[in-house]
Amino acid sequence: MNALIFAVLAAAVALAYYAYTYTAEVASRQSESEVLKELAEEKVSNVEFKVAADDEALLKAVRIDELDKLGEQMRGAAEQVTSVFVLDAHLQVVPGGSTSLRDADPKEAIERRDWYLANVIPKLGLQKLQPNQRKHVYGRRDDRPFLLAFMHKQLGDRTYYVVVEDDVNRLVGGELFHEVFDLSNHKRLYQVVDERGQFAYGVMFPLRGLLVRVNFDTLDGWAVRVTEEDDPALDDELHRKHIVDSVLIGGAVTIILAGLAFLALAIRRERRANELKSDFISNVSHELKTPLSIITMFGEMLANGRTKSSEQATEYAEIIYRESVRLDRLIENVLDFAKIERGMGVYEFADAELGEVVTRAIDLAARRLQTAEMTIDVEIAPELPIIKLDANALTLAVLNLIDNAIKYAAAGKKIAVKLAKDDHRVVLSVKDWGPGIERDEQVRIFERFYRAKAMRLKPIRGSGIGLALVQHIARAHGGDVSVTSTPPDGSTFQLWLPI
Ligand code: ADP
C-alpha cells in the first residue's frame, strides 16, 4: 500500500512537472514568435517608408510650370521608378508631361502609360483628391506587378495629377530589399511572397515550425514571412524527447488510474471484511452461548440431583462432555485463526503419515457422527509416504471438513473419506451427499468469515472461519484445498499435500 501511494504521488509529481514545462514552453514559443513578428514588422515598415518617401520626393519634384525640364527633375529617382506622367483635369496627358526613365525603347513606356490610362486611372477617383493629397494603387499588367503613386497638384486655378510608376519587380530585385532583408543571417529566415502566395524574394524554407507573417500595406496582399532556422540535430532530439515524454505521461496516467482503481477495490474489500467481521462476532457469540447454556442446564440438573436414574445421569454427563468438546473445538478454531491472522509461526512440522492423522480425526468425530445418524466410509491407501507435517493442525483441518459435512449435509446420511496418493501428492477427499454449494460461492467459502447464502438462511450457526483455516493449513504445508460441487448432489472437498 505504501509503495502504491508513493507510486501515485510520484506519477502526480511527474504530471505536474510536465504541465509546468509545457506551459513554460508555450510561453517561450509565444515570446519567440512575438520577437519574430516585431522583426518582420520592422522590415515591412522600412520598405514601405522608403518607397513612400521616394515617391513623395518625386511627386513633389515635378514642377507643372517647368514640364520641359521633367527629365532633369526625374534624375536621381529611385531605381524602382520607371516613368512619370502628368494629367490634366480631364485625365488627359499634358503635352510634354510624360517621361520614361528605364525603358530602352520609349515606346514601351507610352504603351504602358496608355494601358494605365485605359484600365487603371479611370477607376482611381482622382477627381476626389484634395490639392496635394497623395495616394497609391497596386496592380498587375500582363502578370507584371506595378505600383502607381499619384498626387493632386494645383497651379493657379488649374488642376493636374502627377503619376509615378514603380516597377515592383525592380523594387524587389533592387538595393532596398537587399539592404532591409539580411539574407546572410542563417538563424532567422525571411521570405517575401506576393498576393498569390508565390515566392518573390528571400530564402526558400519548408512550411513547418514557427512561422510569422506580416502583410504589406502598399503592395496589396504581399507579405513577409519569417521563421527560425530548423536545426536537424535539435529536431531529432525534440522528436526523441517527444516520444519519451509521451511514454512517461502515459505511464504516469496509468499508474494514477491503476492506483485509484486499486484504492477503490481495497476500500470495497475492507468494507466487506468489516461486515463479515461483525457477522462473525455475532455468530461466534451465539456458537459459544448455545453449548454453554446446555452445559449450564444439565450441570445444574446433575448438581441438584434431579436425575431419575444413574443412566440418565450418565446421559447428562455425556451431553455436557459433548458440548464441552464442541466448545473446545470452536475456541481452538478461533484462537488458531487469530494466531494465523496475526502472522505468528504456529506450525510445528515433524515426520508423520497423513493416514494416522485422518484416522485420529475420524475417531474424534465418531460421537457426533453417531448423533447425526450418519455413516462414514473410510478408504485409506496402504503404504502412504511419510511427510513433514504439523499433525495437530492437520487434524484440525480434517475435523473441520468432517464437521462441515455433519453440519450441512446430515440429510445425505453418508460421508466418504478417501486418502490416496498420486505422482507427487497425497490427496484427501471428503465427500458428502448434502445440498452442495453454488458455483459462484465455491471459491468464496474459503474466504474468512464467508458463509454461503443458503446456509445463512438456515438455523445452522457457524463462524465462517473453518474453511479459511483449512486453506491456510493446507497452504502452509505447500498444498491446497478445493471443492467440487453440483448442487443439490453434495460436495467433495479435496485437500492435497505434496510428497
Ligand atoms: P462455518 O461452517 O463456520 O460457516 P466454514 O468456513 O467452515 O464456516 O464454511 C463456510 C461456508 O461454506 C459455510 O457457511 C457453508 O455455507 C459452506 N459449506 C462448508 N462445508 C459445506 C458442505 N459440506 N456442504 C455445504 N456447504 C458447506
Indicate if ligand 1 lies below 6 Å from the C-beta of 481: no
Pair 430, 402: CB distance under 8 Å: yes
Compute, in angstroms, the gap from residue 452 CA to the centroid of ligand 1: 7
Question: Ligand 1 centre from 488 Cα, in Å?
Answer: 15
Interatomic CA distance for residues 471 and 444, integer angstroms: 12
Give the pLDDT score at 305. 86
pLDDT at position 151 is: 92
* Contact 361 CB / ligand 1 (< 6 Å): no
Closest-CA residue, ligand 1 atom 14, reads 451
CA separation for the pair 467, 482 (Å, rounded): 10
CA nearest neighbour of 497 among 397, 402, 382: 397
Whether the bond into 206 is cis, omega within 30 of 0:
no
Distance in Å, CA 480 to ligand 1 centroid: 17
At residue 208, the pLDDT reads 63
pTM: 0.48
Distance of CA 418 to CAs 357, 359, 402, 474, 498, Å? 13, 11, 12, 17, 16
* For ligand 1, atom 7: residue with the closest CA: 466
Contacts of 95 (CB under 8 A, 6+ apart): none
Q: Is 445 in the pocket of ligand 1 (CB under 6 A)?
A: yes
C-alpha cell at 131: 490639392
C-alpha 478 – ligand 1 centre gap (Å)? 23
Q: Is 464 left (phi over 0), alpha (psi -120 to 50) or beta?
A: left
**Cα of 445 to ligand 1 centre, how many Å?**
7
Closest atom, ligand 1, to C-alpha of 448: 6
Q: What is the pLDDT along the chain (499 residues), one digit of tens a residue?
A: 788 888 889 989 988 988 998 899 888 888 888 888 998 899 999 999 999 998 888 888 888 888 888 888 888 788 888 999 999 988 999 888 888 888 878 888 899 999 999 999 998 888 888 988 888 999 999 999 999 999 999 888 889 999 999 999 999 888 888 888 877 777 788 889 999 989 999 888 776 667 889 999 989 999 999 888 766 667 788 788 889 888 999 999 999 999 999 999 999 988 887 877 777 777 777 778 878 998 999 999 999 988 888 898 998 998 899 889 878 878 887 887 777 767 665 678 899 999 999 999 999 888 889 988 999 999 999 988 999 998 888 998 999 999 999 999 988 999 999 999 988 999 999 999 999 999 999 999 998 878 888 776 777 777 788 898 899 889 989 999 999 998 888 999 999 999 8
287 in contact with ligand 1, CB cutoff 6 A: no
* Grid cell in block for residue 195: 498576393
* Ligand 1 within 6 A of CB of 67: no
SS (HEC) of 42-61: HHHHHHHHHHHHHHHHHHHH
* CB of residue 397 inside a 6 A radius of ligand 1: no
- For the CA of 463, the closest atom of ligand 1 is 3
Query: Residue 73: which of 81, 63, 65 has the closest Cα?
Result: 63
Q: Which of 126, 163, 167, 132 has its CA nearest to residue 146? A: 167
408 lines ligand 1 (CB under 6 A): yes
- Ligand 1 pocket check: which of 467, 486, 492, 493 to mutate, most ligand atoms within 8 Å of Cβ? 467
Please tell me the distance between residue 451's alpha carbon and the centre of ligand 1 in angstroms: 6
